[in-house]
Structure 1
């Protein structure tokens, strides 16, 4: 019954293996924040963050492999990515592990994406499909954050973890903004195509 209701709303099947992994990744966000900010279990917090980042591709891979793609999964997957990035960014900035200017650069990118989605919604369009550059940027950022955590809390790992972490974060933020530019272009083309189709069908 749940699946049928979801189908009528256009979300597709809900109780699928890929969606299970996505839900598990979503639960990892508050778990990471609790372990990192409310306890001394920094090692477990790093583990949760690393697993969440490394498993970013699992739900998409399983959806294609098992032929269980759904609109719900397409919506939840980027939501999980953004929540992981924003939660980690907040936590690391709060602990002075990541500087404020890096945080502002990522938040500004998210603000651009929200603005694009709002404009599309007002014009009657849905969000553009997830671009592989955006997925790559997310994966790179989610590898860089655990490196920065490791460098901050482990003197032995700092000599290699800190430069590796910064290299990943710089690569990730450049790709993140590049993906935003692609989304803006996609949205513009989509809106223009919709207007052209409407004009062609007008009497």
Structure 2
């Protein structure tokens, strides 16, 4: 079991902050129709997401703040990119809605869990695969925009990964819902048992 430290300044956390800073840079480049540079920023951002996780595990730099920061930046990165691409009419808004709605649902589950004394649920491997699919799909989509000559080959791959990622996103969400229901039931049973004990 890896040790989770309370350190704030670690290489993975620095990479997460860099990824956060690159979000407005990407949106500006996309809005300025500088698609080639936007693609570079997107690829760098996606790579740092994979690299920081590997560094955290390989060099024992897993931290509590990193466990919160990394998925938060991932979501913000994905949301911002989806919205930017939809705004430029490179992506349909329904796909943005499908992905954002899932995380709104998870936020509600988080509030329910907190009200019953539980912290955030650990990230499920399906959620990780979904994030990987989306982080690979978005640069592939921008690749076709930046270089139209490769779009016939890149676009089908990008769309397949995007739809698959959205599907896995919701599948993982269903698992989180099931776990939330289980924990809430356990909490209610524990409260009922405590009430009976006090009544005796």
Normalised by the length of structure 1, the TM-score is 0.86
Tell me the SS of whatever aligns to 2:168. Answer: helix
Say whether residues 1:192 and 2:185 are aligned partners. Answer: yes
Q: Greater CA deviation, 142-151 or 55-64? A: 55-64
Q: Identify the residue that residue 31 of structure 1 maps to in structure 2.
A: 25
Aligned counterpart for 1:125 among listed residues 109, 118, 125: 118
Q: In 1, Cα distance between the equivalents of 2:113 and 2:25?
A: 33
Give 1:95-174 correspondences, 5 Å limit. 95-174=88-167
Give 1:49-68 correspondences, 5 Å limit. 49-68=42-61
Contact 1:56 1:139 in 2 (8 A): no
Tell me the SS of whatever aligns to 2:6. Answer: coil
Tell me the SS of whatever aligns to 2:7. Answer: coil
5+ unaligned residues in a row in structure 2: which ranges? none
5+ unaligned residues in a row in structure 1: which ranges? 1-9
* Count of paired positions: 193
Deviation at 1:197, TM superposition (A): 4.5
Tell me the SS of whatever aligns to 2:148. Answer: coil
Q: In 1, Cα distance between the equivalents of 2:59 and 2:138?
A: 31
Tell me the SS of whatever aligns to 1:176. Answer: helix
Tell me the SS of whatever aligns to 2:149. Answer: coil
Contact 1:140 1:169 in 2 (8 A): yes
Contact 2:35 2:145 in 1 (8 A): no
Tell me the SS of whatever aligns to 1:98. Answer: coil
Aligned counterpart for 1:79 among listed residues 69, 72, 75: 72
Deviation at 1:87, TM superposition (A): 0.1
Q: Identify the residue that residue 84 of structure 2 maps to in structure 1.
A: 91
Q: Identify the residue that residue 16 of structure 1 maps to in structure 2.
A: 10
What value does the CA root-mean-square deviation take over the aligned residues?
A: 2.0
